[in-house]
Amino acid sequence: MASLLLANGVRALRRSPRAGTPRGAFCLMGVCQECVLTIDGVVRQACLVAARDGMAVSRPGLAA
């Protein structure tokens, strides 16, 4: 999922809860937690989820 979003120009995946600054995928291997999204109603690391048609994705603090 994270790679698909990056390939389509989506860099900001969430906002920092403390500073409110945009955050995006960093490690792309499940370590940094910077890519956390709500995917099909579950909070998950986008870099560990394979994208498929029909998924519901939202970015915490950002427009869908």
Site string for ligand FES, 42-61 (x = CB under 6 A): ---x-x--------------
Taking a C-beta distance cutoff of 8 angstroms, is the pair 1, 49 a contact?
yes
Instruction: Name the minimum Å distance from CB 29 to ligand FES.
Output: 6
Tokens representing residue 40 in the block? 């099909």
Stretches 4-12, 14-22, 23-31, 55-63: which one binds ligand FES (CB under 6 A)? 23-31
Tell me whether residue 39 is exposed, middle or buried, using C-beta atoms within 10 angstroms of its C-beta: 0 to 12, 13 to 18, 19 or more: middle
Encoded tokens for 31: 């370590």
The residue ranges that bind ligand FES (CB under 6 A) are 2, 25-28, 30-35, 45, 47
